[in-house]
Structure 1
Amino acid sequence: MTVTHSSEPSGLQERAAMKAEIFLPDDYRPAETEPFMNDRQLEYFRRKLLNWKQELMSQSAETIEGLQESGRNVPDIADRASEETDRALELRTRDRQRKLVSKIDAALRRIENGEYGYCEVSGEPISLKRLDARPIATMTLEAQEKHERREKVHRDE
C-alpha cells in the first residue's frame, strides 16, 4: 500500500487561513442582497458568537467571585435568608449561562461544518434578522413556532 502526502493544507486549515483574510468593517451588517452565508456573513456571526461567549465567561467569573465573598456566616436569620435567596438566584443564572455557552459552542461548530444558518428541521435558510437577534437559532421562525405549539400540547396533556 502506497501512502501519498499532499502538500495542500487540509480543509480545516484552509478555512482558518481564509478567516484571517476576511475584513469586516466595524459597521458591517449582513444584508439580504448578499449571497446567503457567504464568508463575510459567517465571519460576522462567528465574531458575534465569540464576543457573546467571552462576555458570558466574564460574568461567570464575576459570579464565582461574588459567591466566594458572600460565603460569610450572617447571624440575623432574615439577612441569612435574603443572602441565600440571592445566592440561589446567582446559581440559577450561572446555570443558564453555562447552557448558553454550550449552545454558542454548538453554533460555532455549525459554522465550521458549513451548517450554520440553515434550519435543522426544514433545511431552509434562517432569516438574517433572526440570526442577528438570536445567533444560536437552529430553526426558522415558522419551525420554532410549530415546535413550541407541539411542546405546549404535550405539556397540557
Structure 2
Amino acid sequence: MVATLAVDQEKLARIKRSVGDDYVPSDDEEYMGEQQLDYFRMLLLEWKKSIHDAAENTLQSLQDGPLREADLNDRASSETDWGIELRTRDRQRKLIAKIDSALRRIDAGEYGYCEKTGDPIGLRRLIARPVATMTVEAQEAHERREKISRDD
C-alpha cells in the first residue's frame, strides 16, 4: 500500500504541473479530452490522499491508546465517538475502492460515460461526484428499481 501511495503522489505531482491550479473543465472543450481526464485524475488522487491521511490520523489515535474516563457516562460517550469514527473510516474505505475504479476507467478510456447507456455523464455531475458511473437519469431509474425491489 505504501508503494501505491508513493506512485499516486508522483502521478499527482506530474498532473498538477500539467493541468495547473486554476484549470476547470468547461463545455467549450472536447468532452473527456486529455486535459479533462488529467483534471479528474488529479481530483480523484487528491481525494484518495485526503482519505488516507484521515485514516492514518485515526490509526495513530487508536495506537496512542484510548482514554479511560472514570465516569461511566464519559466512557460511554467516548466509545460512541470511536464507533462513529470507525464506521466513517469503513465508509471511506469503500469510497477508496470507488476512487480506484474511477482511476481504472480513466486509464481504460471509459471515464465520464454512463455504464448503462454509454451517454456522457456530464461535467457538472462529475465535478460534484467524481466517482459517478451513471447519468442522473440512469441513476434515478436504478434507484427507483432498487426501491421497488426493496418494497416487495
- TM-score (normalised: structure 1): 0.82
- Is the aligned partner of 1:71 residue 2:66? yes
Structure 1: any 5+ residue segments left out of the alignment? Answer: 1-15
SS of the equivalent of 1:23 reads: helix
How far apart, in 2, do the equivalents of 1:69 and 1:106 lie? 33
1:80 aligned residue: 75
- Is the aligned partner of 1:90 residue 2:61? no
How far apart, in 2, do the equivalents of 1:67 and 1:86 lie? 12
- Is the aligned partner of 1:148 residue 2:127? no
Matched ranges for 1:25-64 at <5 A = 25-64=20-59
How far apart, in 2, do the equivalents of 1:30 and 1:144 lie? 23
Matched ranges for 1:122-137 at <5 A = 122-137=117-132
How far apart, in 1, do the equivalents of 2:120 and 2:100 lie? 20
Give 1:75 shift. 3.0
How far apart, in 1, do the equivalents of 2:101 and 2:25 lie? 21
How far apart, in 2, do the equivalents of 1:69 and 1:88 lie? 17
2:6 aligned residue: none
1:139 aligned residue: 134
Match of 1:104 among 99, 103, 119: 99
Query: Which amino acid in structure 1 is aligned with residue 108 of structure 2?
Result: N
SS of the equivalent of 1:63 reads: helix
CA RMSD of aligned residues (A): 1.7
How far apart, in 2, do the equivalents of 1:108 and 1:137 lie? 12
**Per-residue deviation, residues 23-82 of structure 1 (Å, max 9, x unmatched):** 323211111111111000000000010001001100111111222335243332111111
How far apart, in 2, do the equivalents of 1:82 and 1:26 lie? 42
How far apart, in 2, do the equivalents of 1:70 and 1:154 lie? 45
Choose between structure 1 and 2: higher helix proportion.
2
SS of the equivalent of 2:19 reads: coil
Instruction: Give identity over the alignment, percent.
Output: 55
1:5 aligned residue: none
How far apart, in 2, do the equivalents of 1:97 and 1:87 lie? 15
How far apart, in 2, do the equivalents of 1:49 and 1:137 lie? 12
1:9 aligned residue: none
Structure 2: any 5+ residue segments left out of the alignment? Answer: 1-10
- TM-score (normalised: structure 2): 0.85
Q: Does the C-alpha gap of structure 1 residues 83 and 70 become closer, same or farther in structure 2, counting only changes over 3 Å?
A: farther
How far apart, in 1, do the equivalents of 2:82 and 2:63 lie? 10
